[in-house]
A = this chain, B = another copy of it.
């Protein structure tokens, strides 16, 4: 497997992503991986390698710049807050990651998808709402609310939302509002999977409740959500 860093830029931000792919030769579908609120670290990189094992060219984006990582919840909230209150910056960085991926000679730019965890879930939904040319976006325990809902017909990607039924960052009424947004936006393909007894951060083995009490790894939900993602990719990235 080939792995390595890729430096790219968006506005005045220097971003350092992480690439993983299995082999050169035929062009492969590409998958973006957007990190959680702590920044691009081991977790997203491991997921990128896992995707590479399955035959995708995986690019884990850096949304914070200089590959910054938060040491605690407060730092994470500051880094996320900066992007949340500047949606154009968030959009620009997400778009830059997509452009970086699709420009790679190993990637079939017509067959790309994006997955994101926690904050990264927000990012992939932003890309979808924004009409990015993606076959699929998958949000793992992401925040689903937005101040800029999808315009009717704008979303081109198949949308898969994987959410913990007890995630305080994505409570039932937020999920219901998201479903209504999908309906109003006439999104052609969307699904929501709600996992019972499951909190925030369920896919991340490092989520042990120490940084955020309600972020807790759940091996079963992790396994199921990854399989659901793979099922969608088997449909749309072939």
Interface majority SS (helix, strand, loop, mixed), chain A: mixed
Q: Is B194 a contact of A192 with CB atoms below 8 Å?
A: yes
B191 touches A179 (CB 8 A): no
- Decide: A194 and B179 in contact? CB cutoff 8 A: yes
Q: Which A residues between 200 and 238 are near B, CB-CB below 8 angstroms?
A: 220, 224, 227-228, 231
Most buried by B among A182, A183, A188, A196: A196
- Are A179 and B197 in contact, with the CB atoms below 8 A? no
Min Cβ gap A214→B in Å is 15
In A159-196, the 8 Å CB interface with B consists of: 159, 165-166, 172, 176, 179, 182-183, 187-196
**Complex Cα spacing A228 to B231, Å:** 9
For A191, the chain B residues whose CB sits under 8 A away are: 193-196, 224
- Known contacts A165-B182, A165-B183, A189-B197; 17 additional CB pairs below 8 A are A165-B179, A165-B190, A165-B192, A172-B179, A179-B196, A187-B197, A188-B197, A189-B196, A189-B220, A190-B197, A191-B195, A191-B196, A192-B193, A192-B196, A193-B193, A193-B194, A224-B231
Interface residues, chain A, CB within 8 Å of chain B? Answer: 159, 165-166, 172, 176, 179, 182-183, 187-197, 220, 224, 227-228, 231
Cβ–Cβ < 8 Å partners of A187 in chain B: 196-197
- Give 11 pairs: A residue, B residue, CB < 8 Å, sorted on A: A159-B196, A165-B182, A165-B183, A165-B190, A166-B183, A179-B196, A187-B196, A189-B197, A192-B194, A193-B193, A227-B231
